[in-house]
Structures are given as C-alpha cells and as structure tokens.
Structure 1
Amino acid sequence: MKPSRRETIAVLAGAGSAALSAAGMTAPTHAQEAKPGERVATKSSDETQNIETRIGRLEFTHDFANGYPTDATIDKLYDERDFQRACQAYLWSLPAVSFASWQRGVTKGLGAKNGQIVAILSIEARRGILTANATTPYYLGFADLSTGPLVMVIPPRGVQGGISDAWQQTIPGTESPGTYLVLAPGQKAPDDVVGYTVRNSATLNIFLGARLTDTDPEKAKEALANLRMYPYAQRDNPPKMEIFDAGTKAWSGLPPRGMEYWQRLDEVIQAEPIEPRDIFFHAMLRPLGLEKGEPFRPDTRQTKILTDAALVGEAMAKANSADRRFKGDTYRSDAHWDFALLLDADDPDGFWNLLDERASWFYEAVGAGAAMAPKRPGPSSAYLSAYKDRAGEWLDGGRSYRLRVPPNAPIKLFWSVTLYDVGTRALILNQQNIADRSSRMDLRKNGDGSVDIYCGPKAPAGFEKNWIPTVAGKNWFAYFRFYQPTEAYFDRSWPLPDFEQV
C-alpha cells in the first residue's frame, strides 16, 4: 500500500536525524504540537554540543548550526588554522629556503665572495648539495644584485647551465651561451649595453650554475676559462676570475629543520620582493610572526606551531616526493621509476604555479629548467627517480639489490645511477666514498651488453666495480640520469627495470 504524504515526511525526518546522529551531530529540536494531557519536550537553552572531529573534540554552545564555539574551541581552531597554513607554507617555500641555505653554505660555510665562482669537484664537497651528481664537475656562484648589475658569461660550448633567481626559477633566456647583463628588480639598464643580452631578475639574489659536459680535458679547461661573473661597474677592466675550489671541506647547503627553517624563510621574506602569486601565502604567515618589514620574534604559541609544522610539513614533503600522485609521473608502468622533475619544457614558467609538483622536486633537488626535463632530443639531461624495489618495498641500506641496465641506453653522452641518503637527500655517505656508477666507468658487462649495478652493504664477488655500498639502518633512493637522451627515452621504448633484492 502506498504510504501517505504525512507518513513519507515522518520517515524522511527520522532518516535525517539518524544521519546527523551518526556524524556526531544532533538535529535542531523543534517544538512539538501538544496533545491533550501531554508535556512538550524542549531543548535546554544552555545545553552544549560536542562534536568529535579529526582535530579532536569541538564544543558549541548549542547544536553546531545554532551555536558558537566555546572559548577553548576557538583557541583550538585558531591553532589548527595556523598549523595547517604553516604546513602548506613549508611546501610552498621549499625552493626559496633551499636557495637561501645553499647560498649561506657557499658564502658563510665555504667562504666564497659575492659573485665568486666555486668549484664543487670532490664527493665530500658534493655532499653539501641536494642530489648532486657524482660524475660531472660543478661550477657555481651566488650574487647579490643590490650592489649593482652583474655581467655573466656562459661559454659557447662544453657547458650546460643557466642563471636563476632566489626561487630557483630560471631567468628567461639565460640557458644559452652568451654574455648577460643581469639587473635587479627596479634597476634601470645602463646606457651602454652594446654586446650584452640584458635580463631582469625577479629577485635580488641570483645564482649561476654550470656543469662541464665535454669529456676532453683540454676542451673542458678552455670552457671553464671562459666562464665569467663580475660587476658591470668593472666591465672596462674585468677582474681576473679566481675560482674558489671547495676541495674536500665538509659544508652544508642543505635546508635546515625545526625553527631554523623558518629563520631562513624570514631572511627570504625580508630580502626579496613579494611575487603577486605569493600574496596569500604571505597573508597566511603573518599570524605566525613572519611578515615583511617586521622582526621575526615568535612567541611561545607561534614557536610551538612552527616547530610542529616544520616536522609535519617535511613529512608531507617526503611523502610528496617518494610516493608521487601526479598524472603522468611514471616513466613506464612495468617499474617504479618516476620522472623526478615534472616540468613542462614547453611552458617552464608554469611549473612555479604547481604547488605539489614544485615541492616534490625542490624537497630533494636544486635548480629547474627546460633542459632538465626535455621533451625531445637535444643538449639536455633527464632524470628518473626510484624509491621502491620490484616488490614495492622501500629501498633499504641493510638489503642487497641488483639493477640491470639494459643495453643500448638512449643517450648520446652517458648514463649514471646515483644513490642518496633519505635523511639528507645528498650523496649517500659510506666509508668507500662511492655514490654512483656510470657508463663512463670501466664496468663489468653481461654477454648481451647489459650492466648489473649492485647496491648493498657487501660487494658481490666479481662485481666489485659495479657496486655502490649502502649502510644499514637508513633508507636510500636513486636517480638515473640520461645525458643528452635520445628518442627511445622519449617514446619510452627503452625499459629500465626495478631494483631487485638479491
């Protein structure tokens, strides 16, 4: 028999109340029609309601819809709001804090001067940089443009690099060889700019990075001699380029943890202009004591929130890098190798508007440009990253693995596989000072031309030349680099298997 309209309404009302009850909420109580001889049940005006949520219990003066949060709940909500914002600000600020930490390490840690080129050659020196390669020489320098325009010369051959700002965004048009005149925000170009390619930086602090790619020592030496950086004011008599060799000195350009992370961020906020895209992040940080033009003196509450957010924010960053959940992030479906840098080479500037993709790269790496995420063959390098083995388990320093690199790797120059400690995201630290193996080395090959790379605490007999030592008690991850990749990389027809436990 079809229910009456009144019966249907009664059933729906009962279902709605049950749903609210299951969610920990109570439906508003309405006055009921009094029948002769019956009392009307009403809700007390001072009755509070508690709701269990993912941040704990929230208390309201009445039911949620008709009441206000109590004083204790208001404090909890503001603390949670600021904590969530700080976690997101951690992810947002990774490129800038990483840059500031790197610059601080080079200038204050190593002792390089403003605008001086530094040679990072030894494995000890490379450990001061996030996911540095262990194969090609690094030459880099940081400069503060507040003292005036700077001339930078990138040689015509044998060098791959470019100029970037304090957010590690490549200054447009500086990845090609040339003589550049770099201006700070608001600086006017001088009258005499003949022979210079004028470029404006969005920040006061900039970075010149270069890798020598020529295998001929004499040609590499010639390219290095033509790499220059000096003030425009000294253009008529450029100073002799004195390259600072970092040697084997221990230093760190790695982002700090805890409250020191926010101190580095405050240095960036005070020194650099605010980009329009970042206005809301600056607004989110003001209640936490991070504000341009104001000293950073967090109180007890702010310190507690920022300390917790530095830990949880980094945990989010670690998950965001090691277990990527982006569309098209996997090289091939038959293995656990990801594209480490999810930058569109045809629209590199768009990468800085992708919060999570940007954070996944800059948590564990430095520098980003079109030549590092190529879409077609040419003078470039490509990066794949692996964090898990064939069984889907995290790569662990206490276990032994084999990576079989198939023959005919799609490269014009060479390939390399490099291991990094999870804790530092820097070259793996072991007693042997071995962090990579590459096709430039004298590796033992299999009969079909493939190469077995072994990673583990002990060297396998007969494959010592193919071994990268790992350390028990720590996880590690790997980068596989293609220097000048060819078509089989881009169409993904060349397979790269997983690390497999042996």
Structure 2
Amino acid sequence: MTAVEFENGFPTSDSAKAAQSEVALRRAVEAYRFFYPTVSLEGIFQGTRETGAKDNETALLFIARPRHVGFTLNSDTPYSGGVLDLRKSDPLVIDMPAGPLIGLVDDHHHRWITDLGLPGRDAGKGGKYLITPPGWTGEVPDGYLWAACDTWTAFCALRVLPLGGDVDTAKKLLATVQFYPLSQADAPPAYTFTDRSDQPIDCTCLAWEDNLEYWRVLHKVIDSEPAIEEMRPMLGALAEVGIEAGKPFPTDPAVADLLTRAAQQGRDEMLVSAFASQRPDRMAWPDRTWEWVGLRSENGTFERVGSLDVEAKDRWFAQAIVTSPAMFRRVEGQGSLYWLGLRDDSGAYLDGGRTYRLTVPLPVPAGLFWSVTAYDARTRSEVVADQGQAALRSLFDDLTPADAAQVDLYFGPSEPAEAAGRWVQTVPGRGWFAYFRIYGPGAPAFDGSWKPGDFTPVAR
C-alpha cells in the first residue's frame, strides 16, 4: 500500500484518496473470494434450469462427459441436481429410497446443510428428510430427519454408485428419489428427472467470474436471501463497494471499473490457491507431487479450532463444487479419497502437448472402484479432445492386467503404442490436471504402503 502522508496529524488530501482507492479494491477482492461459493452455486442453479429442470419439480440427471462443463465433475457415477425453492414449498421433504445413493443439500451460499443416503442419517436404508426454510418454528413430524436451511433456495446434489458397472439400474434408482412439500405428503405431486447425458450443459460461473457480471449475480442473491449472521462483516465490505441488499446495483462507471478489476484479481488469486498453494499440509506423500484436493478432512465446513480456514475454502471452490463432511472424510472404508495431480515428477505443471505415463501399483486399495480423470486447467472441467473421454475408470475400463503388479496409464495428445487403450487424450497449448479417486479406500491408502507414481514425461 502506498504510504499515507500526514500534515499536523491529518492525512493529506491526495494520499487519503490514494489510500481509499486501495482500501476499496482490497475490500472488493476479499468480498469476491468470500462470496465465490455463492456465485458458483448460482452458476449451478442457472445451468440446471437451462436444461429444462424446474425448481421443486424436475431435477437434472446425467453421467458426466467432456460435453458437460462443471468444476471437476467425474464420469464414475451418475449425477442428479435439483434446485429447491423453500419459499414456494415451505418445509420440503426429500424421500430417499434404500440403496447405494450419496447425496447432500447445500444452501444458497454453498454451505452444507445435511448429507443423504449412505453418508446421511438414513445410512443408505432410506428415509424422509425434512428441509425447513429460514425462520420456520413448526414441529417436526415423527419419522422425519430434520435439517434447517438459512436461505430460501438450496441445492440437492445426488450420486448413485453403479455397483458392478450397471449404469442403467443405477440411474433408475436415482430417479426414484422424490421431493415434495410436507403439506402434500399424503398425496405427493410427481417429481421427474431430465436425463442430459448426451447433451451439453454448463453449470459453472466461468462466464462471470472475471468481470462485472459476477457482482450483478451476487447482488441478485444477497437481495433475495436473508442476511446470515456470520456473513455480516463481509456483507458490510460489499456495501462499502456498492453492493447492498435492498438497493439498486451501482451504475457509477468508477465503481464498475473497481468491481471489474476486483473480479479479475480475485479470480486470479483463487486459482493461485487452487494450483500454486504453499500450504505444507496439501502434500499427500513426501516423495510424490500429488496433493490433497481438500485441506480440511475433519469437516465439510472448513472450520478449524477457533477460525475459518479461508485458504482451504478458496482452494476447494476454485476447482470443485458442493461441500459436505463426507466429501473430505479420510476414514478407512468410508466415502472416497481425492488426490490432485497437476505437476510431473520434476515439479513442472502438466502440459497438454506432452505425453506422460502414470504408474499405478496393483491392487489399488479400493473397496469399490477407482479412477483417474483429466481436467482442463482453464475450465476446471473434463478435458475436451477428439477422443471424447477424459477418464480411466476401473469399473468400465481394463485397468488391471492379469497377474500384473502395476498398470501404466498414459496422457497426451496421441496414443502411445504401448498404451493398450489405457490413454486419455490431452490438447497442446492447454494445461491440465488430474484427480485420482478411490471409493471405499483401504488401509494402504492411508498408511503410505500404497501410492501412485508421479506423472512422468515420455520421450516422443
């Protein structure tokens, strides 16, 4: 910051103006980073609605492919996403069937409300969850699993494990989840799922994240939702730069310039958190370049003793979506583990114009299955190339050669002769990163007795 000059104990006019400009930009950048999860979820809302899904009536269903733009979506499990409008429904029931379903509800600010299915209180046995709106003071009927929401709009994300690779059965199970107002529990209205597996979608905030539209989207959200107590300081910072509930969006060109610069700087700083963090606890193993995707494993709210881990929060939402304790849990046999690979064995970022080999020791300690997915660094979505796939998945691909102690996977612009089909195509001129996922992780994934190799460049 430029030094403030004083005369007789008072700041001079010119230096005060310079300081005020710097303070305004700093406040705007910090507000940008704090509310990025909010704007990211609004991107999911809008993308979901653009597919034809209607709040409380229809959910989006798909198996992610490169045609689907979404932060680090995976192709391992069918997805469903539905927007919940609690103004319209008042208390809303999510009726979960028994089976290998994994779900969560996040509020409009991307804050966790409850888990569903296997990680939820029904533990995969089925159950009725009651999601109540802000200020609701009614009684929870017997037999319901209650979760209070602080915002009028929320998001329900669901996945289903395609056991044995049976995707059709998995999608049919997912489509049996029902949503309806508590007031209509005796005769629930129909709820449907729109399958967009074969059609493109975009459920991101990429179009807004580095420009003035980011703030317009954010203003719309805070203008329509209650002021949550824990957000009051950051809502105050927003007000200082012209974004305030109950007031029109600012039209001053100087404010627009400030907010645009803040969006550009904030986006860039978020990506530094995602891809160039210096946090020591990001490293998965001391002798590998693999990193943990989530820095906080003890909860899904980024809380640590005495404070909020803002770097962990920034890092997660810059590259991923939705949050719950189950997504970060590092417990043997439960949930899944996610590792981030964005550098080769020399520490250089992965380059879409080079070919890499990834050696994976066998067996992989996965009680269910495992996968490696390649993502474009600019879109944080699956790599788009002529091959048309971005993942190698143990459920669907031949990744365990008979009697082999390891398997080599390849990533690059063209398939090496030795790849035997175990290859993902990347694009020259575009950086990429990978997520290594293990579902139902076993003890060797925790004690270091098993770990994948690093990405190693292959001379071609």
Q: Does 1:321 align with 2:269?
A: no
CA distance in 2, matches of 1:484, 1:444: 18
The aligned residue for residue 146 of structure 2 is: 198
Instruction: Please show how residues 49-68 of structure 1 align to structure 2 within 5 Å.
Output: 55=1, 58=3, 60=5, 62=7, 68=10
Quote how far apart the aligned CAs of 1:190 are: 5.4
Equivalent of 1:223, from 167, 173, 176?
173
User: Conserved in 1, the CA contact under 8 Å of 2:93 and 2:179?
Assistant: yes
SS at match of 2:202: coil
Q: Are 1:304 and 2:257 counterparts?
A: yes
Q: Give the Cα separation in 2 of the matches to 1:172 and 1:453.
A: 37
| Aligned counterpart, 1:466 | 422
Which residue of 2 is the match for residue 388 of structure 1? 343
CA 1:345–1:214: 2 relative to 1, 3 Å: farther
Aligned twin of 1:499: 455
Q: 1:425 aligned to 2:370? A: no
Asked if 1:77 corresponds to 2:19, the answer is: yes
Identity of aligned residues (%): 31
1:154 aligns with 2:96: yes
Q: For residues 248 and 73 of structure 1, do their structure 2 counterparts lie closer, same or farther at Cα, with a shift above 3 Å needed?
A: farther
Q: Deviations over 1:302-358 (max 9, x none)?
A: 111111111111111111111223342211011111110123335756269221111
Correspondence 1:344-359 to 2 at 5 A:
344-345=297-298, 348=301, 350=303, 353-359=308-314
Root mean square deviation of aligned Cα:
2.2
The answer as to whether partners of 1:164 and 1:208 remain within 8 angstroms in 2 is: yes
| Residue number among 107, 112, 130 corresponding to 1:165 in the alignment | 107
Partner of residue 203, structure 2: 253
Equivalent AA in structure 2 for residue 60 of structure 1: E
Paired position in structure 2 for 1:455: 411
Counterpart of 1:482, as a letter, is I
Question: For 1:412-435, what per-residue CA distance to the aligned partner results, in whole angstroms no more than 9, with x for missing partners?
Answer: 011111111111111111121110
Q: C-alpha distance in 2, partners of 1:444/1:466?
A: 10
Q: What is residue 372 of structure 1 aligned with on the other side?
A: 327
Aligned to 1:27: none
Inter-CA distance 424–220: structure 2 relative to 1 (3 Å threshold)? same
What SS does the corresponding residue of 1:371 show, helix, strand or coil? helix
- Cα contact 2:64–2:79 (8 A) shared by 1: no
Letter in 2 for 1:70: T
1:390-427 per-residue CA deviation (whole Å, 9 max, x = no partner) reads 11111111111111111121210111111111111111
Cα drift, residue 188 of structure 1: 2.8
Q: Which of the numbers 40, 49, 69 marks the counterpart of 1:128?
A: 69
Cα offsets for 1:56-95 (capped at 9, x unmatched) = 5x57355xxx554432322221111011111111211121
Residues 182, 428 of structure 1: alpha-carbon distance in 2 compared, 3 angstrom cutoff: same
Distance 2:115 2:368 in 1: 25
> 1:91 touches 1:356 (CA, 8 Å); kept in 2?
no
Q: Counterpart of 2:436 in 1: which secondary structure?
A: strand
Aligned to 2:132: 183
1:217-254 deviation per Cα after TM superposition (whole angstroms, max 9, x unaligned): 37525632431112223212112332111243333221
Cα distance change, pair 202–123 in 1 and its aligned pair in 2 (3 A): same
Shift of 1:198: 2.2
Describe the SS at the equivalent of 1:462.
helix
Deviation of 1:375 (Å): 2.5
Q: CA 1:391–1:124 in 2, change beyond 3 Å: closer, same or farther?
A: closer
- How many residue pairs align between the two structures? 441
- SS of the residue corresponding to residue 331 of structure 2 reads coil
Q: Which of 325, 349, 365 is the equivalent residue of 1:410?
A: 365
SS at match of 1:341: coil
Find the counterpart in structure 2 of residue 24 from structure 1: none
Per the alignment, residue 482 of structure 1 pairs with 438
Letter matched to residue 112 of structure 1: A
Partner SS, residue 104 of structure 2: strand
Comparing 155-164 with 422-431, greater Cα deviation is found at: 155-164
User: Gapped runs of 5+ residues in structure 1?
Assistant: 1-54
Structure 1 residues 349 and 365: alpha-carbon distance in aligned structure 2, compared to 1, 3 A threshold: closer
Counterparts of 2:169 and 2:152 in 1: how far apart (Å)? 33
SS, match of residue 220 in structure 2: helix
Give the number of the structure whose residues are more often strand, by fraction.
2
SS at match of 1:455: strand
Distance 1:264 1:446 in 2: 53
CA contact (8 A) 1:183 1:189 kept: no
2: CA distance between counterparts of 1:150 and 1:106? 19
Which of the residues 183, 207, 213 maps onto 2:155?
207
Matched residues in 1 for 2:416 and 2:439: separation? 28
The residue type equivalent to 2:408 in the other structure is D
Residue 68 of structure 2 corresponds to residue 141 of structure 1: no
Amino acid in structure 1 at the alignment position of 2:392: R
> Gapped runs of 5+ residues in structure 2?
none
> Which residue identity is paired with 2:152?
L
SS at match of 1:99: helix
Q: What is the CA–CA distance in structure 1 between the aligned matches of 2:197 and 2:102, rounded to whole Å?
A: 22
* Contact persistence 2:159–2:174 (CA under 8 A): no
Quick check: which has more Rg, 1 or 2?
1
Q: 2-side partners of 1:291 and 1:384: how far apart?
A: 39
Instruction: Kindly state the Cα deviation for residue 111 of structure 1 after the two structures are TM-superposed.
Output: 1.9
Q: Does 1:437 align with 2:392?
A: yes
For residues 59 and 132 of structure 1, do their structure 2 counterparts lie closer, same or farther at Cα, with a shift above 3 Å needed? closer
Q: Contact between 1:289 and 1:298, CA under 8 Å: does it hold in 2?
A: no
Moved more, 170-179 or 353-362: 170-179
Q: Which has the higher contact order (CA 8 A, sep 6+)?
A: 2
* Letter of the 2:393 counterpart: S
